[in-house]
Amino acid sequence: MSTIDYQEKIPNNVNLGEDRTLKRALENWQPNYLNWWQDMGPDGSHGFDVYLRTAVSVDPQGWAQFGHVKMPDYRWGIFLNPAEQERKIHFGDHKGEAAWQEVPGEYRANLRRIIVTQGDTEPASVEQQRHLGLTAPSQYDLRNLFQVNVEEGRHLWAMVYLLHKYFGRDGREEGEALLERRSGQQDNPRILQAFNEPTPDWLSFYMFTYFTDRDGKFQLCALAESSFDPLARTTKFMLTEEAHHMFVGESGVSRVIQRTCQVMNDLKTDDPAKIRAAGVIDLQTIQRYINFHFSVTIDLFGADESSNAATFYTTGLKGRYEEGKRTDDHVLKNDSYKVLEVRNGQLVEKEVPMLNALNEVLRDDYIKDSIGGVERWNKVIEKAGIPFRLSVPHKAFHRNIGSLSGARVSPQGQVVSQAEWDANVDKWLPSVGDRQFVASLMGRVTDAGKFANWIAPPVMGINRQPVDFEYVRFN
């Protein structure tokens, strides 16, 4: 069933009406969700009519329709990709067996933990971004922020459905807890540290949607391989929505760079002070923001050696990125992988069992993918004729997880002393001054087709609309 039933109180394509107990439980959760959205969703925006896309089917072609809607009226729901008949498990100890339609008892705790951790990131990012609408550089960007926000909300619904349907009372309690934690709160923070960091300005938002939503893509791809079929089907559809979030990030940073290069050429200078005085963000500051967001995000993949990662793989709960395209035996018991550690003041590689290094495997796949976008940003700089290159820092830089946690390593990959780190940290990571400068540029632009001075307009609008389309109607 790929069409979504919008007659229901909770739109869905999972025949929710046939399971009255589940339907009642989710209908009880729904008002709590809406209260959370009212309290923690985009600040001061509840009366706006926003040009949003809504899923109307799970067919990759024509799955969404666009129209103006007030965000609290957005129809959040439960959408799974169609079931693949006779689907088989294709990795781990259960390779070759039929995919599970129910949760095997012995894997229940681990599977619940995976779903809760993924689910927790979704409302966290809405909370991190809730004040950004007050400083949006254009209607176009404001609309993109709100689209990301409502879809993160829907991804929370996706995980809560699985918790309610397959985990009984435990699942219902976890569903409540997902609405009780708060990003950055001391007493009851979000589970993963990156989702407790503030997103104070739009450069941070674009970096977050480029780097951190890309982590989401890789985690969802790994879960889309899961032997637990409902989780695999859920995450496959979430990936369809996630692509736009990464586009917002990549194109947003690209437009910031484009505008900076334009001003550099107009003023015929590469002096960061003069560039800042002209009200745009210098390339050196953009590099420091890349260093920060990239390093915080690669920590999200977990420790480089992890018995949990091995367990999740061998038991069939979580595969690798593009598992089906790999040519090994998909069991990995005789395979090894290289990870880094600091030994005698040097970064050295050591071989560890592949199963224990699966977080590192996923991190390395992510790093390759991240570099692609940074190279596209470099093409914008190149095209402007400016001799400057952006890069992602070395993967040992600014790490707080695993064997590299707390190691003092430069962005180029040199182990440095504490004194050297302290002397250079403001050249490598955004300083208080950098953040204050970027914050000083943030001011809301609300006229259709107008853009803040520090960012270039996009090449085209959303859904083939013109750039000066009225994306948000402020009522």
Look at residue 132 and tell me whether its pLDDT is greater than 60.
yes
Kindly state whether residue 215 falls inside one of the protein's structural domains: yes
Contacts of residue 21, defined as CB under 8 A and 6 or more positions apart, other chains included, come to none
| Rounded (5°) CA angle 359-363-367 | 175
The whole-number pLDDT of residue 2 equals 56
Q: Report, as an integer, the average pLDDT of 247-261.
A: 98
Backbone φ and ψ for 311, nearest 5 degrees, come out as -65, -45
Residue range 134-144: mean pLDDT, rounded: 98
Given a contact cutoff of 8 angstroms between Cβ atoms, the answer to whether 386 and 282 are in contact is no
Enclosing domain of residue 94: 16-473
Which of 3-7, 182-186, 263-267 is least confident?
3-7
pLDDT at 122 over 50: yes
Amino acid identity of residue 81, one-letter, is N
Q: How many CB atoms lie within 10 A of CB 39?
A: 11
**CATH code at 84?**
1.10.620.20
pLDDT at 1 over 60: no
For residue range 19-49, what is the model confidence (pLDDT) as tens digits? Answer: 999 999 999 999 999 999 999 999 999 999 9
209 vs 153: CA distance, rounded Å: 15
* Distance between CA atoms of residues 221 and 211, nearest Å: 15
Average pLDDT value for residue range 242-256:
96
In whole angstroms, give the CA distance from residue 233 to residue 230: 5
Amino acid letter for position 215: D
CA distance 80 to 87: 15
pLDDT of residue 119: 97
> How many angstroms separate the CA atoms of 206 and 211, rounded?
8
- Using CA of residue 189, residue 192, residue 195, residue 197, what is the dihedral sign? positive
Q: Decide if 3 is inside a domain.
A: no
Whether 4 maps to a domain, the answer reads: no
In a domain, 2, yes or no: no
Q: Collapsing DSSP states into helix, strand and coil, what is residue 350? A: strand
CA distance 55 to 66: 9
pLDDT tens figures, 185-212: 999 999 998 899 889 999 999 999 999 9
What lies within 8 Å, CB to CB, of 91 at 6+ separation is 225, 313, 316, 319, 320, 323, 330, 331
Tell me the chain's radius of gyration from C-alpha atoms. Answer: 23
Q: How far apart are CA 206 and CA 197, in angstroms?
A: 14
- Phi/psi class of residue 68: alpha, beta or left (left: φ > 0; alpha: ψ in -120 to 50)? beta
What average pLDDT does the chain have? 96
What's this model's pTM, rounded to 2 decimal places? 0.96
Question: What is the mean predicted confidence (pLDDT) over 429-433?
Answer: 98
What pLDDT does 49 receive?
98
State the average pLDDT over residues 296-314: 96
Mean pLDDT of 462-469: 96
Q: What is the reported pLDDT for 179?
A: 98
Is 148 contained in some domain? yes
Identify whether the C-beta of residue 324 lies closer than 8 Å to the C-beta of residue 362: no
For residue 161 the two structure tokens come to: 């459905």
Residue 7 lies in a domain: no
- Report yes or no on 6 lying in a domain: no
Token digits of residue 156: 């929370």
CA separation for the pair 453, 441 (Å, rounded)? 8
User: How many structural domains is the chain composed of?
Assistant: 1
Which H or E run includes 24? helix 20-40
CA distances from 294 to 40, 316, 363 (A): 26, 29, 11
Residue 72: band (very low, low, confident or very high) from pLDDT cuts 50, 70, 90 = very high
Residue 26 belongs to some domain of the structure = yes
